[in-house]
Structure 1
Amino acid sequence: MQDASQSTRPLRAARPQQGLTGDITVPGDKSISHRALMFGALAVGETRIEGLLEGEDVLRTAAAMRALGAEVERLGPGRWRVAGRGVGGLIEPADVLDMGNSGTAARLICGLLAGHPIFAVLTGDASLRKRPMRRVTDPLAASGARFSSREGGRLPLAVEGAKNPLPLDYRLPVASAQVKSAVLLAGLCARGTTRVEEPEATRDHTENMLRHFGATVRVTVQGSGRVIELDGQPELTAAPITVPGDPSSAAFPLVAALLVPGSRLTVRGVGLNPLRTGLFTTLREMGADLAVTNERTEGGEPVGDITATHSALHAVEVPPERAPSMIDEYPILAVAAACATGTSRFRGLAELRVKESDRLAATIALLAANGVAARAEGDDLVMERNGAPPAGGGTVVTHMDHRIAMSALVMGLASEQPVAVDDSAFIDTSFPDFATLLDRAAGGGAITPA
């Protein structure tokens, strides 16, 4: 095993001499990239994918699909070919499936495996092995699949898929696109209709892609939530996919441009699915100058170009029902709120406690290390600020969480004193070359090895 001191990449971010400018692109949407590979593996024929995110998380999914019998080939940067085996056609892997740092891949693949009569073992890195899987395995067990895991439902996890999987009728106790998607993936192999009821609408990339590949999916709005019904055992047909830029990744350079004086930065080709754009809505409520142009539809998903111009921000209260549409963006929103005027309150953040780290605690620690007092009140995050730049000067413990690391680097660009992170290696899971791209937009010399 490689020594931790050899594998970590500490970085330091300081206020740049100029604003962030130019036109950039961000990596392909991670949620859509995972699903493109999985549905390509389940389809009949050859799926061509353009713009696939080639971060470590998605590459783990590509390797897993290959191990399960699909042909998965990289044709060039972001260009991939997947020759699928059809619904129910996956084969037993010869070795353990290592999902690295990706909770999305691990949970969705549990759904895939549940409907196939094969045995497989999933594991991951130290961070992923701490994350709970019972929220997925408990409902999937009702399909006839069997799961064995470490205490608390944690990886490594052994899966014995059902020989004759049963359709599921499941109400999510909390809004989770990962759990919803796992149940729907298991339902593909079952006779009859699988039904999922979600209390709040969550990102619907799985439903969109199921339709794109030819499945019959019905969605009914029910209050603030939805009911999704999937007809089982469809023949999925290979279909081309263009992956839009990930709005969760676009959040970091856009917020940096809002906070650094003199900035005007455009991110091209960002996914604008309304169930993913809660952060952009919230930033506008704070007074952010965010302009969307060149709106279009690609592969069933809305896409556009977003330009952020430096703005004076004021505090905001974010309602709990918005959390599912921006659950990954709260750390970077907290950095924006640290530069705003007034009392900000983000409500209903229980889900943050079971991300790559306890993201609520990690976000509060990130702020505290750099002179910003914030507190948790139940599942709310609260801070009072006067609009002045944060003091900075701290070193942030990232807990192997890519979004905490990226948020800290953005804070360093906006703070009085530089901000360091203990490790940036895990940024590669979602945004390879993030530090280089951000530093180039800032004119160079702002982000350096610590």
Structure 2
Amino acid sequence: MDIIVKPTPELKGEFGALSSKNYTTRYLLVAALAEGTSTIYYPAHSEDSDAMRRCIADLGAVLEEDDEKIVIKGFGRHPRDVKELNVGNAGAVLRFLMAVTALCPDVTFINKYPDSLGKRPHSDLIEALESMGVGIEHQDGRLPITIRGGAPKGGKIKVSGSVSSQYLSALLFLTPLLEEDSEIEVLGDLKSKVVVGQTLEVLEQAGIVIHASQDYMKFTVPGRQSYQAQSYTVQGDYPGSAAILAAAAVTKSNVKVHRLMENSKQGERAIVDVLQMMDVPLSHKDGIVHVLGNGRLRPIEFDGDAATDAVLAMVAAAVFADGTSRFYNVENLRYKECDRITDYLNELRKAGANVEETQSEIIVHGRPNGLEGGATINAHYDHRVIMALTVVGLRCEQPLLIKDAHHVAKSYPQFFDHIAALGGNVEWVK
């Protein structure tokens, strides 16, 4: 389905942030890897987290869920022997489970999204798993991928971090279960280090011991560990909330978003700092971000590597700043559901934005009086692009029509409901 985003001068209201997708998928996995029963309170519901639910159930976990919590009886170090797994369009779920299914004899990850996840590379993780004795069949590092495992070996493992930190996280989930101790060395630059911190936080909560160097480039992982059954509470999601906060920043607004912890380890928490740097009137106290937007923003320069999933929303806000903004160290945006630099900026230009790119930078020449709009936008099936373009559409003179906007459900199914509840002028069209 498509959506029309019409000019919206004012947003007003409050609601609780969606539960974190990143934490939910990690809690679901460690609960499945535990021998015993775990409880996860306030888990996220999105296409990504639902893909993890589906796959761990296929692998032998028993799930029972109500409106407040999900109770999971895990399969421990013995996942069920299954022939196929469908992760949908969820890259992190695929990569985490590529490692975990190395404990299985023969599993094929099928390709349901050839134009999105099917194009994303996984060669760095494949090479690391192959060095551990896992046989893998693949299409030049892409789906469909067959894992022929059963007896992966620990020891000295090397993995590149230059494309994604998810490869490293995948190995951190697997190696504690192996008979051997492991030493993991990260090659090249490690992207999105802050997300590795989230993985380590969840692993520690699950009773796993991992010794990490301060720069996250070397890890010592004792083998023969067991995941412990625990109770977890999922915190609010900064990546999804970033678009809501950016929308409040570019309009006249009085918006409160609850359940956003001040001390969260989510890198996208930086959206609050960035908007403050842009002189957006806001406060952050007791888990509530309160934006009193006036539509006036100053330009910034920002290293986006630590806040990857909020950068597109930051760029959307910078489109209306009074001056030129630069977001650097963001090359890994090119390896997401789409090329979130070239593809996104091409669509912004259709709406009238003045933007440039280099291999690892986004440069935005702000237009504080707003954009012309009046365009049909291809969001490339990418939930983050859909949300960011919606922010831009609120400040266009003419409506934007965003194609295939239902793909926002990958991470934030209620996004347009929340925008509408705040007074955003959005309308679904078939």
Aligned pair 1:97/2:85, yes or no?
yes
Aligned pair 1:119/2:106, yes or no?
yes
- Cα displacement (A) at 1:388: 1.7
8 Å contact from structure 1 (residues 13, 448) kept in 2: yes
Selected match of 1:25 from 16, 21, 34 = 16
Query: Runs ≥4 in structure 1, deviation > 4 angstroms?
Result: none
- Name the aligned partner's letter for residue 313 of structure 1: L
Please provide the CA RMSD for this pair: 1.8
Length, aligned pairs only: 419
- Cα displacement (A) at 1:415: 1.9
Tell me the distance in 1 between the aligned counterparts of 2:276 and 2:129: 39
Selected match of 1:255 from 246, 251, 260 = 246
Aligned pair 1:306/2:284, yes or no?
no
Structure 2 counterparts to residues 186-335 of structure 1, below 5 A: 186-190=174-178, 191-197=180-186, 199=190, 201-203=193-195, 204-222=197-215, 225-261=216-252, 263-271=253-261, 272-273=264-265, 275-294=267-286, 304-311=287-294, 312-319=296-303, 323-335=304-316
Unaligned runs of 5+ in 1: 1-8, 295-303
Tell me the distance in 2 between the aligned counterparts of 1:193 and 1:421: 47
- Name the aligned partner's letter for residue 109 of structure 2: L
Aligned pair 1:136/2:125, yes or no?
yes
Structure 2 counterparts to residues 38-53 of structure 1, below 5 A: 38-53=29-44
Selected match of 1:71 from 59, 62, 65 = 62
- Cα displacement (A) at 1:171: 5.2
SS at match of 1:432: coil
- Cα displacement (A) at 1:164: 4.3
- Residue 406 of structure 2 corresponds to 425
SS at match of 2:236: coil
Tell me the distance in 1 between the aligned counterparts of 2:291 and 2:99: 38
Tell me the distance in 2 between the aligned counterparts of 1:188 and 1:91: 19
Tell me the distance in 1 between the aligned counterparts of 2:156 and 2:289: 40
Tell me the distance in 1 between the aligned counterparts of 2:354 and 2:363: 9
Tell me the distance in 1 between the aligned counterparts of 2:204 and 2:84: 31
- Name the aligned partner's letter for residue 113 of structure 2: D
SS at match of 1:72: strand
SS at match of 2:226: coil
SS at match of 2:213: strand
- Name the aligned partner's letter for residue 206 of structure 2: F
- Cα displacement (A) at 1:16: 2.5
8 Å contact from structure 1 (residues 15, 412) kept in 2: yes
Tell me the distance in 2 between the aligned counterparts of 1:82 and 1:13: 40
What are the Cα deviations for residues 116-173 of structure 1, in whole angstroms up to 9, with x where unaligned?
A: 14211112323111111112211122111111111x2111110012414223433534
Aligned pair 1:375/2:356, yes or no?
yes
SS at match of 1:241: strand
Tell me the distance in 1 between the aligned counterparts of 2:217 and 2:371: 40
Unaligned runs of 5+ in 2: none
- Cα displacement (A) at 1:80: 0.7
- Cα displacement (A) at 1:383: 2.1
Compute the TM-score of the two structures, normalised by the length of structure 1: 0.89
8 Å contact from structure 1 (residues 409, 420) kept in 2: no
Query: Identity over aligned residues, as a percent?
Result: 23
- Name the aligned partner's letter for residue 310 of structure 1: G
